[in-house]
Structure 1
Amino acid sequence: MELADRAVGLLLSSISLSIFTYYTFWIIILPFVDSDHFIHKYFLPQDYAILVPVFAGITLLSLLSVFIGMVMLKSKKKKA
């Protein structure tokens, strides 16, 4: 079981590092590269640089709120 936990941890760390590196390159370095350079085809337009994290945050908060609401309703039913 410990090996599986390590594998999951390594996978999550790798995914997080990849996303962080991609986003950092997209936001900080890409604006200084010429717009006709081939690297631009691997990145979304700059408009999405704010929309993607905002959408992800709203989704995360919504799911968290639904989870907390369900737990509160379940605990209320157990007491009654």
Structure 2
Amino acid sequence: MELADRAVGFILSLISVTIFTYYTFWVIILPFVDSNHFIHRYFLPQEYAILIPVSAGVALLCFISIFIGYVMLKSKKKKA
């Protein structure tokens, strides 16, 4: 089981580092590269650099709120 946990941890770390590197390059370095350079084909338009994290944050807050509400309703039914 320890080997499987390490493999999952390694894969999650690799995915996190990849996303962080991609996003950092996209937001910090890409604006300084000429707009006709071939590297721009591999990235979404700059507007999505804000839209995607904000949408993910809103979805996360909604999920957390629904989860907390579900747990509160479930614990209320147990007491009654």
Q: TM-score, normalised by structure 1?
A: 0.95
Q: Matches of residues 1-80 of structure 1 in structure 2 within 5 Å?
A: 1-80=1-80
Cα root mean square deviation, aligned = 0.8
Unaligned 5+ runs, structure 1: none
Deviations 1:34-73 (A, max 9, x none): 1111100000010111111000000011011111111111
State how many pairs are aligned. 80
CA displacement at 1:77 relative to structure 2: 1.0
Amino acid corresponding to residue 75 of structure 1 in structure 2: S
**Cα separation, 1, equivalents of 2:5 and 2:72:** 30
**Cα separation, 1, equivalents of 2:2 and 2:74:** 32
**Cα separation, 2, equivalents of 1:60 and 1:44:** 22
Point out 4+ residue stretches in structure 1 off by more than 4 angstroms. Answer: none
**Cα separation, 2, equivalents of 1:55 and 1:19:** 16
Amino acid corresponding to residue 10 of structure 2 in structure 1: L
Amino acid corresponding to residue 78 of structure 2 in structure 1: K
